[in-house]
Amino acid sequence: MSILSNIKCSPAIILSLDLLYGCSAHKAETYEKTVVFPEGATLEEKVEMASRVVPTQRQLDWQNLELTAFLHFGVNTFTDREWGDGNESPEIFNPVDLDADQWVKSLSDAGFKLVILTAKHHDGFCLWPTATTDHSVASSPWRDGKGDVVADLRAACDKYGMKLGLYLSPWDRNAECYGDSPRYNDMFVAQLTELLTNYGRVDEVWFDGACGEGPNGKKQEYDWARFRSVIEQLQPEAVMAIMGDDVRWVGNERGLGRETEWSLTALVPGILAESDSVNSALGLVAMSPDLGGRDIIEKADRLYWWPSEVDVSIRPGWFYHDTEQPKSLRHLAEIYLNSVGRNSVLLLNIPPDRRGLIADADVARLAELRKWIDDNFTVNKAGDIKNDVVKVNGEINAVMLGEDLSKGQHVEEFAVEALVDGVWTPVATGTTIGRKRILTFPAVSPDALRLNVKSSRGDVNLDKFEAYAITLPVETNVELPGYGKVATDAWKVISATGNDADVVKAFDGDNMTVWTSDETDGEKQITVDMGSAVPVAGFVYEPSGADDKSGTIFHYNLEFSNDGVNWNPAAVTGEFSNIMHNPIPQKIYFPATVSARYFRFTALDEIEGAPYITIPEFAILTPQ
């Protein structure tokens, strides 16, 4: 039921039945998906035009999904890596118990409406028998080379009524033609054509913008316009995500939507040729805290309906690792409130394991999340609007608001006020509302609630005003047992690249103290004597989790010694894959424990080429 519609707001206004029935619908022209401002338009003229921008039907349908799922699966599942290098043998891919029905049923039971499969990740290994490369399931022992993960998933989606999306990585570390732009683009289009032709309806095509070879490697110029044309021709109802212009990446991989989340933004989608220059002139990036406020509109010459997708993994990494556990229910509940509850669609990654099944622990956590949502958001304690207010029955500590996005997004600032002992008192405030906004506050038992819209772009079209008493789950420890950190009391730094006196900050147990190397070209290194030989099972590098990630290490080497003279490389060495966008502690476990007294940790480069690196915290892991 639409609670309120077409409410014309003054600078500060209380929503009421008088207004509800006293206003007529805005008859002016609407703009679908984008609006271009006329030259010389004033801010008020721009804001008025912005109020008339609406999504396409496929965007609106997508925003109403609320919960979607990612399945990161491939050769990385078998190598224990996050990013493969493209040299993996197809022989390692053999998920003998693969059951796509188990994947989709688990997701469907948990309330998810769409699932996206990594049909090809950066390693270039294809989960379908493509004609474009031998680096695919056709060359693997799985089902004697006759298997097709995409086909299995398509069948399971049809069985359970799940929508299907496909991730196809533009970056391909295996393709010999990568870097020969015309040849690779032809190959990529052929892969895209296979996926969008042979597997029925596809509802979301997910491209990231990865071009990871860097300035000293192969330089690939992607033909985004051509890729878009193929999608529009073969799957016209599919939304194009991230490097498309239908769905936007929220700007982090921590499960956090913005406090101010506009579906209508001035940020230019990366698939458009002018994106870099325009976004730079506007001072906008994907991580900017506000992408559509009035100060931004004032500088912009056009706006795009480009709603937010919040992607995060149920585990620390994106691919399955035995050494990781799913996030706690408390953590997932907070992610739900900070994504779905902030005008975004949640894209939660649940990676299948080496058997080809979603792990029991993950299935159980999904079921717990579904139950938590149902238990907390089924009993709406707010009644219908009567005499200008929403009556409330009992104690509440949360409200859920929503705008009818088919008519645009309009609310710029609001307060929720509660009537307690005859006095109206604000209990929650916010800026944007969008499709769904959930706000929590200390519990109150009001007689009524009202929404004070302090600023709006024209008419308010509210279709949700609900009140709940919610309970966040108790936090639980999800650390994998069996590993501990080696005590650092006896550690002695033998050498360090700059700032020797401060290097102890790298392993003092406090990630708020940070060691920063000197600013010189080349590798940065720390050599440490641990005092005596210890069994080493792995290590942890903890980067800065703050918005300023400068100094974060990308590629590294780690070596061990028992005499400080003869050194052996660690069994695992290489890169902290995806650390720029997912700056979590990098817990690296070795396949076998080694005994060592000394370690030498070398940072080969920084994520953006800075001449220095930072180590907030470094630890050596030992079996317990």
Given a cut of 50, whether residue 103 has pLDDT beyond it is: yes
pLDDT one-digit tens code per residue, 394-419? 999 999 999 999 999 999 999 999 99
pLDDT one-digit tens code per residue, 514-567? 999 988 888 999 999 999 999 999 999 999 876 678 899 999 999 999 999 999
Consecutive H or E run containing 233: helix 224-234
If pLDDT is split at 50, 70 and 90, which confidence band does 481 have?
A: low
pLDDT the model gives residue 620: 95
Q: Which residues pair with 460 in a beta bridge?
A: 7
The CATH number assigned to the domain with range 483-623 reads 2.60.120.260
pLDDT exceeding 90 applies to what percent of the chain?
Answer: 80
The least confident of 18-27, 47-56, 592-601 is: 18-27
Span 232-239, mean pLDDT?
98
Q: Which residues pair with 413 in a beta bridge?
A: 455
Span 318-339, mean pLDDT?
94
CA distance 87 to 98: 24
Averaged pLDDT of the chain: 91
If pLDDT is split at 50, 70 and 90, which confidence band does 388 have?
A: low
Span 592-621, mean pLDDT?
93
Domain boundaries, the chain: 7-28+378-468, 65-263+307-376, 483-623
Given a cut of 90, whether residue 1 has pLDDT beyond it is: no
CA distance 380 to 467: 6
State the CATH architecture for 7-28+378-468: Sandwich (2.60)
Cα separations (Å) of 471 from 43, 337, 371, 400, 580?
43, 12, 12, 15, 33
pLDDT one-digit tens code per residue, 36-84? 999 999 999 999 999 999 999 999 999 999 999 999 999 999 999 999 9
Query: Residue with structure tokens 């933004």?
Result: 265
DSSP state string for 436-493: -EEEEEEEE--SEEEEEEEEESSEE-EEEEEEE---PPPP---PPTTEEEPP-TT-EE
CA distance 1 to 193: 42
If pLDDT is split at 50, 70 and 90, which confidence band does 18 have?
A: very low
pLDDT the model gives residue 476: 74
pLDDT the model gives residue 27: 54
If pLDDT is split at 50, 70 and 90, which confidence band does 575 have?
A: confident
CA distance 13 to 24: 17
Consecutive H or E run containing 334: helix 329-339
If pLDDT is split at 50, 70 and 90, which confidence band does 305 have?
A: very high
The CATH number assigned to the domain with range 65-263+307-376 reads 3.20.20.80
pLDDT the model gives residue 480: 55
* 7-28+378-468 and 483-623 agree in CATH topology: yes
Structure tokens given for 389: 């207010």
DSSP state string for 573-603: -EE-TTTTTS---EEEEEEEEEEEEEEEEEE
Tell me the pTM.
Answer: 0.86
